[in-house]
Chain A
């Protein structure tokens, strides 16, 4: 019984660490990607036209936002399946 409890807490720890890593990744990407894409595309892609570079940076920021929404939706579906499997295994044990 205590082994199962210990296993549950370590998997919970692993899940919370994975969530924290995901959040840190998205925070860093949102901070770094738009402004770096502005400077990079201004110099190499749009040959000095700063308005197009600004539009590129805005598109990059919105892509990060859409990626975050998609990742959070997929994680929700995964945790839903895990919760269902847990419930099934618990009802089997009770029998």
Chain B
């Protein structure tokens, strides 16, 4: 029975979860940074003094990547391929990594589009800044939800500790 529960290919899924958390959240953060950066370059030609404030979407896109990094480190810290690693734990880690990564893509996409258009509007109307911050916070929280689900899933792995003995 333990040999069925802990096959040798189980760490594949665990490490795939680690990789997917980092890869997908970085894709979202890169899209957000690039799209917002296009708008900031447009703003910079007209009003260079507003650049410091208009870099907020870029910082928020960077935080999406930090979410992915933290989940990757968290899952990798719980991986024990040498001590007997249940297949169920591998699936849980894969699900946690994918949930954090894909929500990072969603959040980064929203941050990119909102950052681009709001930063361009900020050239003409100063009061757009507060609205931009609010919309960006709502977009960022999407990535945070994925991270919370990943954390919740990761706590289930500790219950499987003795399955391989």
Is the Cβ of B59 less than 8 Å from the Cβ of A38?
Answer: no
Is the Cβ of A58 less than 8 Å from the Cβ of B56?
Answer: no
Among A19, A34, A51, point to the contact of B66 (Cβ < 8 A).
A34
Closest A residue to B62 by beta carbon equals A30
Q: A residues bordering B, Cβ < 8 Å?
A: 19, 22-23, 26, 30, 34-35, 38, 42, 50-51, 53-55, 57-58, 61-62, 64-65, 68-69, 72-73, 75-76, 79
Chain B positions within 8 Å of A64 at CB level: 59, 63
Is the Cβ of B59 less than 8 Å from the Cβ of A26?
Answer: yes
Among B59, B73, B133, B151, point to the contact of A55 (Cβ < 8 A).
B151
Chain A positions within 8 Å of B51 at CB level: 19
Closest A residue to B147 by beta carbon equals A58
- Kindly state whether residue B49 has any CB partner on chain A within 8 Å: yes
Chain B positions within 8 Å of A58 at CB level: 66-67, 70, 144, 147
A61 to B61 Cα, complex, angstroms: 12
Is the Cβ of B78 less than 8 Å from the Cβ of A50?
Answer: yes
Shortest Cβ distance from B78 into chain A, in angstroms? Answer: 7
Among A30, A35, A42, point to the contact of B59 (Cβ < 8 A).
A30
A72 with B56: in contact, given A35-B70, A50-B78, A54-B71 (CB under 8 Å)?
yes
- Kindly state whether residue B36 has any CB partner on chain A within 8 Å: no
Is the Cβ of A34 less than 8 Å from the Cβ of B70?
Answer: yes
Q: B43-72 CB contact bits vs A (8 Å, 1 = yes)?
A: 000000101110110011011001101110
Chain B positions within 8 Å of A22 at CB level: 52
Shortest Cβ distance from A65 into chain B, in angstroms? Answer: 6
Closest B residue to A67 by beta carbon equals B59
- Kindly state whether residue B16 has any CB partner on chain A within 8 Å: no
A35 to B53 Cα, complex, angstroms: 25
Is the Cβ of A51 less than 8 Å from the Cβ of B74?
Answer: yes
- Kindly state whether residue B77 has any CB partner on chain A within 8 Å: yes
Shortest Cβ distance from B87 into chain A, in angstroms? Answer: 21
Is the Cβ of B63 less than 8 Å from the Cβ of A62?
Answer: yes
Chain A positions within 8 Å of B82 at CB level: none
A-B contact pairs, 25 of them (CB 8 A): A19-B51, A26-B59, A34-B69, A34-B70, A35-B66, A35-B73, A50-B78, A51-B151, A53-B74, A54-B71, A55-B151, A57-B66, A57-B70, A58-B144, A61-B66, A64-B59, A65-B59, A68-B56, A68-B59, A69-B133, A72-B55, A72-B56, A75-B52, A75-B53, A76-B53
